[in-house]
């Protein structure tokens, strides 16, 4: 079922009676009800229905130039995209590796620039995967490098809160060493990872990312299984042919009652008090039905000896 078809079913219970007669403000209210219902469905449904395999392309090293000010964090003149966020930044002449922490407006780096004010060149190393870009709620498997078949291991003790600077002159001021692991490889095929947050302290979008180690030295694809967060539909979906982000067989018995129960609390509700009470009750019943009727495991169970498959 499309978002437009679901919105039209909801519109029957409004004062407008039809989607084509509704104002933009009323459509936004209708859209909020749909998104709320989708969110509640995702929150209640078994996790196996929200799992998928994520594939992420790690880009090759990129060279950029920008103007930096001594003691500043701005990367003036740099034109960066969303995929640059979190990437390691190796500035020519700088002692420590830096990190790109904002790409909107004037891009910013994490550590203050310590060189002479003026134009600088830098290498961008793509050693991060933004989980929020993929709407990842939780990793189900460790990431695997598709090109090499290597499964990465999570190393919180060694990598957490250290950032990209750990790989070059970290702690001791000597290239390629650290106080915890001695000699380390700076670039190459990744073998481990850690989860990091970014953007929170910069008044930017709060994001969660995977940081890889060593820094990938070439383009590669990394895949992993993950549980996804519920998506949000926008106003263009109401006018198009975009499908509701819930399996079609669950839209009418689950999502529609949930959306109706939210709609009765809005100023555009056009039904009677009795219909309002009934819609609220159907929404409560829909949540119970999700738990009662949906299976946590769709596969055949492990069978006892001489037991037919499926039993």
Question: Does residue 59 register a pLDDT over 90?
Answer: yes
- d(CA 147, CA 145) in angstroms, rounded, equals 6
Find out whether 197 and 101 touch, Cβ atoms under 8 Å: no
The closest of 245, 102, 96 to 163, measured between CA atoms, is 96
- d(CA 206, CA 39) in angstroms, rounded, equals 19
The residue-averaged pLDDT of 176-205 equals 66
Binned at pLDDT 50, 70 and 90, residue 96 comes out as confident
Beta bridge partners of 63: 123
Report the pLDDT value the prediction gives residue 164, as an integer from 0 to 100. 67
Token pair recorded at residue 69 = 């000010």
Find out whether 133 and 81 touch, Cβ atoms under 8 Å: no
Question: Does residue 282 register a pLDDT over 50?
Answer: yes
Report the pLDDT value the prediction gives residue 310, as an integer from 0 to 100. 61
- d(CA 213, CA 166) in angstroms, rounded, equals 10
The pTM (predicted TM-score) of the whole model is 0.76
> What is the percent of the chain with per-residue pLDDT over 90, rounded to a whole number?
46
Give one DSSP letter per residue of 256-283, joined into a string: HHHHHHHHTTSTTB-S-HHHHHHHHHHH
Across the chain, what does the average pLDDT equal? 85
The residue-averaged pLDDT of 201-221 equals 83
Report the pLDDT value the prediction gives residue 160, as an integer from 0 to 100. 67
Give one DSSP letter per residue of 44-77, joined into a string: HS-GGGGEEEEEEEEPPPEEEEEEE-TT--B-BT
Lowest mean pLDDT among 19-28, 69-78, 145-154, 204-213: 204-213
The closest of 53, 5, 70, 6 to 34, measured between CA atoms, is 6
Cis amide leading into 214 (omega within 30): yes
284 phi, psi to nearest 5 deg: -65, -40
Find out whether 99 and 123 touch, Cβ atoms under 8 Å: no
Report the pLDDT value the prediction gives residue 172, as an integer from 0 to 100. 40
> How do the residues of the chain divide into helix, strand and coil, expressed in percent and rounded to 5?
30, 25, 40
Sheet architecture: strand order including 128-130: 128-130, 207-213, 192-198, 153-154
- d(CA 232, CA 274) in angstroms, rounded, equals 31
C-alpha separations of 24 from 20, 53, 69, 154 in Å = 10, 36, 46, 47
The residue-averaged pLDDT of 116-134 equals 91
153-154 vs 192-198, strand pairing mode: parallel
Find out whether 43 and 87 touch, Cβ atoms under 8 Å: no
Question: Does residue 162 register a pLDDT over 70?
Answer: no
**End-to-end Cα distance, the chain:** 33
Binned at pLDDT 50, 70 and 90, residue 119 comes out as very high
Most confident range, picked from 171-175, 178-182, 283-287: 283-287
Binned at pLDDT 50, 70 and 90, residue 179 comes out as very low
Lowest mean pLDDT among 25-34, 138-147, 185-194: 185-194
DSSP state of 243: B
- Between 296 and 108, residue with greater pLDDT: 108
Angle between helices 3-11 and 256-263 (to 10 degrees): 50
């Amino acid at each position: 079922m499309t978002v437009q078809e679901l919105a039209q079913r909801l519109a029957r219970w409004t004062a407008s009676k039809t989607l084509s007669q509704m104002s933009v403000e009323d459509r936004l209210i209708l859209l909020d009800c749909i998104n709320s219902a989708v969110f509640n469905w995702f929150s209640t449904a078994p996790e196996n229905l929200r799992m998928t395999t994520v594939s992420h392309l790690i880009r090759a090293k990129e060279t950029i130039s920008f103007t930096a000010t001594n003691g500043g964090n701005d990367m003036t003149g740099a034109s960066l995209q969303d995929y640059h966020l979190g990437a390691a930044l190796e500035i020519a002449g700088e002692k420590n590796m830096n990190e790109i922490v904002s790409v909107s407006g004037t891009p910013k780096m994490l550590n203050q620039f310590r060189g002479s004010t003026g134009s600088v060149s830098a290498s961008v190393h793509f050693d991060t995967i933004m989980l929020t870009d993929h709407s990842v709620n939780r990793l189900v498997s460790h990431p695997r490098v598709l090109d090499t078949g290597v499964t990465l291991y999570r190393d919180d003790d060694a990598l957490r809160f250290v950032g990209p600077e750990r790989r070059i002159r970290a702690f001791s001021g000597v290239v390629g060493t650290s106080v915890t692991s001695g000699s380390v490889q700076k670039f190459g095929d990744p073998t481990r990872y850690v989860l990091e947050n970014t953007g929170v302290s910069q008044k930017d979008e709060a994001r969660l990312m995977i940081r890889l180690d060593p820094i990938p030295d070439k383009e590669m694809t990394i895949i992993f299984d993950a549980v996804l967060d519920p998506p949000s539909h926008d106003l263009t979906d109401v006018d198009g042919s975009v499908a509701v982000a819930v399996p079609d067989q669950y839209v009418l018995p689950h999502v529609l009652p949930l959306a109706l129960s939210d709609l009765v609390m809005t100023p555009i509700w056009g039904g009677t008090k009795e219909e309002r009470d009934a819609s609220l009750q159907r929404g409560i019943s829909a949540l119970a039905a999700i738990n009662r009727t949906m299976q946590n495991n769709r596969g055949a169970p492990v069978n006892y000896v001489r037991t037919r498959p499926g039993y």
